[in-house]
Amino acid sequence: MRKNQKKNLLVVVPMKDLREAKSRLNDTLTGKERELLAKLLFLRTLTILNTIRSNNKNFFDIGVVTQSLTIKNLIKEFDLFLIEERSKGLNLALKDSYLWASKKNYKFLAILPADLADPKPDEILSFLNHYKASSEPTVALCPSNDMGTNALLLSLPSKLTFCFGHNSFIKHSELCKSKGILPKILPFASLRNDVDTKWDFKKIKHKKLGISKN
């Protein structure tokens, strides 16, 4: 676990317990298979972030917000911060992350899902680099193919509240407009797809999920 932070940007990956993950794949995978898939996708996300960070002057910190003891044990060897999820539910967990980042004096917070189907490191880097040229207040959104929000970056403090869920890209965009914020829309192709349905799974099942710890 990382002990000291000196960065302006915190990248948070929210993660529920593996037993609760990928419930929409109940008809496609067994419980153990869903747990393994969620674990592999999560670890790949952390590995990609670690690699990007180490190759780019360590310009951001990584945090994981979770209530799960399994996840807490899984990330012990990673160089990151554990953020305690005090209120169950994604948007409340992200509010916990926002408050934690604000208390630690970060100037920017980015949210990246744990289950992207085929994320490209160069596109994640391009997304994160948008904080450098940002002037407050700033919100950057990456829409998913089903009009969800697959990545979000905002300056701290922010007037935006988290609205992840069905049509969250539209909700986040409308909320920005109501707050007088012009969001940056960043439709990176490899960040538009996560793995939630059997169709998503069919697209990735033949792809190798390479996992290693840096």
What percentage of the chain exceeds 70 in pLDDT?
A: 82
User: Tell me: the pLDDT tens digits for 184-213?
Assistant: 999 999 998 876 656 656 666 555 554 444
What are the structure tokens assigned to 4, written together?
Answer: 């000291």
Contact yes or no for 9/108 (Cβ under 8 A): yes
- For 135-158, letters b (16+ CB in 10 Å) and e give eebbbbbbbbeeebbbbbbbbbeb
What are the structure tokens assigned to 165, written together?
Answer: 């869920």
Per domain, the residue ranges of the chain are: 9-204
pTM of the model: 0.89
203 Cβ partners below 8 Å, 6+ apart? 117, 193
Contact yes or no for 63/14 (Cβ under 8 A): no
Identify the top-confidence range among 27-31, 86-90, 102-106, 209-213.
102-106
Please give the pLDDT value at position 212: 45
What percentage of the chain exceeds 90 in pLDDT?
A: 64
Q: How far out from the chain centre does Cα 36 lie?
A: 19
Please give the pLDDT value at position 197: 58
Please give the pLDDT value at position 32: 86
Q: How far out from the chain centre does Cα 145 lie?
A: 16
DSSP-derived 3-state class of residue 195: coil
User: Tell me: the pLDDT tens digits for 115-147?
Assistant: 898 899 999 999 999 887 666 678 999 999 889
Mean residue pLDDT of the chain comes to: 86
CATH number of 9-204: 3.90.550.10
The answer, yes or no, to whether residue 163 has pLDDT greater than 90, is yes
Interatomic CA distance for residues 183 and 95, integer angstroms? 19
pLDDT band at 5 (very low <50, low <70, confident <90, very high): low
Interatomic CA distance for residues 89 and 52, integer angstroms? 28
The answer, yes or no, to whether residue 25 has pLDDT greater than 80, is no
Q: How far out from the chain centre does Cα 170 lie?
A: 18
Interatomic CA distance for residues 192 and 124, integer angstroms? 11
Contact yes or no for 58/24 (Cβ under 8 A): no
Please give the pLDDT value at position 213: 44
Residue type, 29: L
The answer, yes or no, to whether residue 112 has pLDDT greater than 70, is yes
Question: Among 21-35, 107-121, 163-177, which is the least confidently predicted range?
Answer: 21-35
